[in-house]
Structure 1
Amino acid sequence: MGHSEGRLDEREQQVWRTFHRMRNQLALALGQSLQQDSGISESDFEVLAALADAPDQTMRARALRTELQWEKSRLAHQIRRMEQRGLVAREVCVDDQRAPLVRLTETGQDTIRSAAPAHAARVRELFLDALTPDQLDALHQANAMVLARLHQNCPAETP
């Protein structure tokens, strides 16, 4: 069975399935930990972390969408839910009325500040500590290669 038939050989299938299972189970475990420890979802955490790192803890919605690589509707729904819980606030950009700004609130700052250490510890426990330094280096290189290939073949649409 060759590659031309469009099928994965046994080794490729094994690697792909193991990677897929690991990715899904890791996301599930990290999501459950965030929910139990901080009462937030992984999506909440991603938004809060991006805003916490931004100047003035504020980003244009378009820039946030690009940073997270989410679809416009997903970000809009997420921001609306987070705004209702007081984690973020939407504001109008003075320079461009059509470009809404998303700002981390004080509640959002407190939430990310308390969630981040436990999340980092869980990432270390479940993922980083399972690998040797050489494996981490190899994984980092492999991820960079796949990301470069994706960028080459599927350039993201400009928001």
Structure 2
Amino acid sequence: MRVTKHEHACLRLERDGKTIIIDPGSFTLPLTDVKNLVAVVLTHEHPDHWTPDHLDRLTALAPRVPIFAPAGVAAAAPGYDITVVAPGDTVTVDPFTLVFYGGRHAVIHESIPIIDNVGVLVNDDFYYPGDSYAVPKGAEVRLLAAPVGAPWLKIGEAM
């Protein structure tokens, strides 16, 4: 599996000529060269992890591409056909198997509401927790895309 890190939180995973995009948000440049898109994963509803512009661009490239996200994203994104996922869910989009973990975004500040957040384990090899410290218990992660800078992040907890 090939993993490409784009700006901020966006990741591109490619395998067997097919592609998944994770968290194309407001700090990510437009993704215009995406080929054979089979899924989009959004970990949570904050705009640095998804924008309508990115979803419009990606769904124009692949009109029936499934979008997987927690309930908070579905509520924040009316008009998009989002498949709601929660911790414990498993979805297969050939050649990828996605297992979702977590459930809640890390606390940013006590005055800011905590929202849904899912981490995603891809093909039992690659794990991205979104904006959380969720650990995929029982999985042997070979590649971790861990956040290392965020307003909510404490480096000691991240380590």
Higher RCO (C-alpha 8 Å, min separation 6) = 1
Greater strand proportion: 2
Instruction: Provide TM-score, normalisation by structure 1.
Output: 0.32
Indicate the structure (1 or 2) with the bigger Cα radius of gyration.
Answer: 1
Greater helix proportion: 1
